[in-house]
């Protein structure tokens, strides 16, 4: 069974209220800052080994990797498909260089 793939139905990847979410639940959500400015659309996910990363397509078409950590996360609004984060100043500027 080693190196065998395991597949489950995507509709099973929904967390109960109060539980940790599955990242797939926020795919295609809009990422906004604390003032509501659109930072882009979440198009996928990655990892750097230490933390999950959000792959965000910025309004200018550039893709950015944003650490998905409690220190940055403000809230997730499932009704409005929004993820609100308080990112360190200059983080997105590094992605565009």
Beta carbons within 10 angstroms of residue 65's beta carbon: 17
Q: What is the pLDDT of residue 12?
A: 61
Which tens digit of pLDDT belongs to each residue from 6-40?
Answer: 776 766 656 566 666 778 899 999 999 999 999 99
The residues with which 76 forms a beta bridge, in sequence order, are 83
Higher pLDDT: 37 or 3? It is: 37
**Angle, vertex CA 53, rays to CA 64 and CA 1, nearest 5:** 130
Helices (H), 32-79: none
Predicted TM-score of the model (pTM): 0.79
> How far is the C-alpha of 26 from the C-alpha of 20, rounded, in Å?
12
Q: Give the pLDDT score at 90.
A: 87
70-91 confidence digits (pLDDT tens): 999 999 999 999 999 999 988 8
pLDDT, average across residues 53-82: 94
Pick the more confident residue, 57 or 17.
Answer: 57
**CA pair distance 41, 62, nearest whole angstrom:** 11
Domains of the chain with bracketed CATH: 19-87 (2.30.30.240)
Confidence (pLDDT) at 14: 62
Q: Where are the alpha helices (DSSP H) in 1-97?
A: 91-95
């Amino acid at each position: 069974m080693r190196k065998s793939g395991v597949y489950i139905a995507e509709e099973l990847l929904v967390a109960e209220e109060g539980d940790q979410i599955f990242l797939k639940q926020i795919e295609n959500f809009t990422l906004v800052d604390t003032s509501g400015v659109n930072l882009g659309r979440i198009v996928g996910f990655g990892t750097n080994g230490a933390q999950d990363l959000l792959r965000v397509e910025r309004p200018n078409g550039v893709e950015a990797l944003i650490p998905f950590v409690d220190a940055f996360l403000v809230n997730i609004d499932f009704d409005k498909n929004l993820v609100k984060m308080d990112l360190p100043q200059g983080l997105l500027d590094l992605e565009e260089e």
